[in-house]
Structure 1
Amino acid sequence: MSDSRWDWFLRGSVTLWVTGPGTRQLLARLQREGVVMRDVRFTGDGVLLRTSVDGLRHLMASRRAYGVRFRVVDRHGAPFLGQRLLRRKAFAAGAVAFVAILYALSSIVWRVEVVGAEGEDQEAELRLAAAEAGLQVGQWKSRLAPPVELAERMVARAPNFVWVGVEIKGSVAVVRGIPKVPGVPQASQQPCNIVATRPGVILDVQASRGRVLVKPHQLVQPGQVLISGLLTDRGPSVPASGHVFAEVWYTSEVSIPLRVSSQGLTGTSVSRDYLAVGGARLRVWGFQEAPPTVYERDRETEWHVGAWRLPVQWVHATLYEVKPAVWQVDVAQARDEALIMAAADVRSLAGGDMVILGQSILQERLDRGTLYATILTRVQQDIGAKAPIPDVGSSPTSQGAAQS
């Protein structure tokens, strides 16, 4: 006979109270015949044991020969559970109705999420295209077209998007779109100069149009003309263009604490099991008290019936105890960290098109466990920017000559 607990559940099992003078001999015979008995407990008056329904039949066939009597204490398994449900038809009907309602609710689209739209107008356009394609809240998932076909319909109805993707996750429909990039504007043909935006020392000038007015190793100030749009003093003017690379200096004030505190795992953990129905979780195992400060890690099952994900899942959560830890940072390490922070600060100010040439600590001091440092960072960056060519006729000198 099978010793599987699952087989016992399907076939049914019973807990018996057996008494009589030949009880021990009968149990020994049943054991030799292969009848599986569990939870056997001998007392002075009799024996309490659990066996399958097939084992019960063997015991009934041999009980008179050994002069024993038995009483059914409890019944277990699917056959007896079915009998109880038949006696409680209202409860059984309610359980079936509950499962049917869960299945019906999980077969409907309850939310449509839009990802990738820039602004409310594009989001509204994508939602309208989805509704016209048949994807909207309250729609049965079985009546929806395949995601590829839905995406094609939406692209045809959303002229401001170059690509649309549709993904159904349970009762949520996710619509992802890539907006069209607007046309690149034409470069302005208005005559202009290239002027300095920051003080620095010129390293290299790469002029594609205009007249270069500076040379390497020259110190320039903000507003100074670097590439002129005037080809000659009184000649024609053009829109100057090019790149002017200069060495620029930035000063950063950085503070680094020498005493750093963080949190780490102690190794103590508590496990809990939940039955997740929709967005709610019902704890079914693990009621021991958790540590005061914990880090939780969850593992959720992926139960499916075909391609349909069941609304009921099992969640195993592990709560790890967290303990604060403090360590001391060396002054040399703090200096290195200060240089890294200063470099990040300069990158945020100067932009991505720059190269760090060097760093120097101008001043540092220790105060109450914190290192305060003033750091000079030398970078190479393009300091040129377009500026209109000033009107020579509107200068104070020319205006005064006109009045005289």
Structure 2
Amino acid sequence: MKNGWTNFVIGTVRIRIVGKGIERFLNNCVRQQIMISNVHKVDGQLATATILLKDVKKIRILIRNADCKIYFIRGRGFPFLTKRVIKNSGFALGFLSFFIILGLLSNMVWKVEISGAEPQTEHQMTKQLAKIGVKRGEFQFLLESPEKIQRYLTDNMNNITWVGVEVRGTSYHFQVVEKNEPKSQQKTPYQHLIAKKKAIITNLFVEKGQPLVKVNDFVNEGEVLVSGIIGNEKNKKVVAAKGKVYGETWYKSEVEVPLKTDFQVLTGNGYTKHYLDFQAFKMPLWAFNKEKYASKVTEKVEHPLYFFKWKLPLSYEKVAVREEQNSQRVYSKQEAVEKALEIGRKKLLSTLGEDAKIKGEKVLHQEQDNGKVRLSIHYQVIENIANTQPIIQGD
């Protein structure tokens, strides 16, 4: 019994042998190849020894023909340890459950704190955070990373300039910088409406003031369209000219579109893996997918785990793998021209006012070179060309 580790797994039993035939009993054990060790003879009719648990049945048979009796003192090894654990399973399970529940509670969101925001903005942010699960009672390792939460808030809230996200144990802290809307400058109560660019007048809607132009007139930049001075020389009155003056303006745009474009697209196939990261190694939890993709996009999100306020040397990691493939978009020359016209229109409208519209467009120049179609486009636009100019003393 020199192999202590093997004996621990199998299990050993310490026995007491009482009677006159102790030597004969021990010799019979050796003949039956029963491993017996640590034999200690107390006197002529008493001895102790150690046997393997698996040989207990053989010992019971041999003792029937021996002039002695055996008594089991104690058992050692894995079988007896397992039996004791099962016997005390309630305590063991309770102890284990306590630490599991305590660990889960240490990784839940217990507080969401927002500072630097007005009450209305704070309420709006709280609703946005709840949509992505950032609220009390949610597990931290199921939430997005602080960087993604920050990006989500800045993309979905127009009244904030910047938001900082910090995780402190079981609390999420948000530091907000709101947009400072510039205070409307104190406008003079008296003003003209002037042209902000060259145009041909197409329509006028004057609420206050004296129109100085009419439809089809050509005006230059800075020319007065509606005067804030009304009446005659003897009875003048100064008001704040108000209204809209629409004119036809002109723009030129250069647009190019490649005939062939290579890009990557997601196929929709993919899987997600979950790990417990122990720094030295990663233990997969579920989703043991071994599918191989020729080209893929991998996104990792890691959440550290805490026990109370202490950060543990392990973390939960979520890995999303998505298959992608190469794709090529090919335009004919006519399709490329149509696409260029569409791009040009969108680009121009993005720089104009809300009520502006494109009246007409004309391709001034078109060429195809190095796999690209280039267009030079002239646009006719109808837009409000009126701008305000204060009436100063002496006008």
Structure 2: which 5+ runs fail to align? 1-81, 127-135, 138-169, 301-315
Match of 1:47 in 2: none
Specify the alignment match of 2:223 in structure 1: 224
Q: Does structure 1 residue 198 correspond to structure 2 residue 158?
A: no
Q: What's the offset of the Cα at 1:321?
A: 2.9
Partner of 1:346: 348
Aligned pairs, number: 255
Rounded Cα–Cα distance in structure 1 between residues aligned with 2:171 and 2:341: 48
Q: Per the alignment, do residues 224 and 284 of structure 1 end up closer, same or farther by CA in structure 2, a change over 3 Å counting?
A: same
| 2:118 paired residue among 119, 122, 126 | 122
Q: 1:373 to 1:107 in 2, by over 3 A?
A: closer
Is the partner of 1:231 in helix, strand or coil?
Answer: strand
**Is residue 205 of structure 2 the alignment partner of residue 214 of structure 1?**
no
The corresponding residue for 1:375 is: 377
Q: How much has 1:352 moved relative to structure 2?
A: 1.5
| 2:343 aligned counterpart, secondary structure | helix
> Larger C-alpha radius of gyration, 1 or 2?
2
2:310 alignment partner in structure 1? none
Aligned alpha-carbon RMSD (Å): 5.0
Paired with 1:186 and 1:387, the residues of 2 have a C-alpha distance of: 13
- How many angstroms apart in 2 are the aligned matches of 1:253 and 1:185? 37
Q: Compute the displacement of 1:200 (Å).
A: 0.8
2: CA distance between counterparts of 1:107 and 1:321? 33
**What is the SS of the residue equivalent to 2:257?**
strand
Does structure 2 conserve the Cα–Cα contact (< 8 Å) formed by 1:113 and 1:172? no
CA deviation after TM superposition for structure 1 residue 369, in Å: 0.8
Deviation at 1:282, TM superposition (A): 4.6
Q: Which residue of 2 aligns with 1:364?
A: 366
Secondary structure, aligned partner of 1:342? helix
Q: Is the 8 A contact 1:265 1:320 kept in 2?
A: yes
Correspondence for 1:250: 251
Structure 1 gap ranges (5+): 1-79, 115-119, 131-139, 142-170, 299-313, 394-404
Q: Secondary structure at the match of 1:340?
A: helix
| Paired residues for 1:3-402 under 5 Å | 83=85, 86=88, 95-106=96-107, 109-113=110-114, 120=116, 122=118, 188=187, 190-232=189-231, 234=233, 235-265=236-266, 272=273, 274=275, 282-285=283-286, 286=288, 288=290, 290-291=292-293, 293-295=295-297, 319-389=321-391, 392=394
Q: How far does residue 240 in structure 1 lie from its aligned partner after superposition?
A: 0.8
- Mapped to 2, the partners of 1:333 and 1:374 lie a distance apart of 16
Q: Distance in 2 between matches of 1:105 and 1:206?
A: 66
Q: 2:230 is paired with a residue of what secondary structure?
A: coil
- 3-state SS of the aligned residue for 2:377? strand
Q: Would you say the 8 A contact 1:252–1:345 is kept in 2?
A: no
Is contact 2:109–2:172 with CA below 8 Å preserved after alignment? no
Retained in 1: the 8 A contact 2:188–2:390?
no
Looking at both structures, which has the greater relative contact order when contacts are Cα pairs under 8 Å and sequence separation is at least 6? 2
SS state at 2:238 partner: coil
- Mapped partners of 1:392, 1:186: distance in 2: 22
CA contact (8 A) 2:271 2:289 kept: no
Q: Secondary structure at the match of 2:118?
A: helix
CA displacement at 1:387 relative to structure 2 = 0.4
Give the CA deviation at 1:380.
1.1
User: Which amino acid counterpart does residue 319 of structure 1 have in structure 2?
Assistant: V
State the distance in 2 between where 1:329 and 1:379 align: 29
Provide TM-score, normalisation by structure 2: 0.51
Larger strand proportion of the pair? 2
**Pair 260,107 (structure 1): closer, same or farther in 2 beyond 3 Å:** closer
CA distance, structure 2, for counterparts of residue 365 and residue 291 of structure 1: 41
Q: Residue 320 of structure 1: CA displacement?
A: 4.0
- Distance in structure 1 (CA, Å) of the matches to 2:83 and 2:364: 82
2-side partners of 1:271 and 1:218: how far apart? 67
Q: 1-side partners of 2:337 and 2:221: how far apart?
A: 32
Distance 1:282 1:188, change over 3 A: same
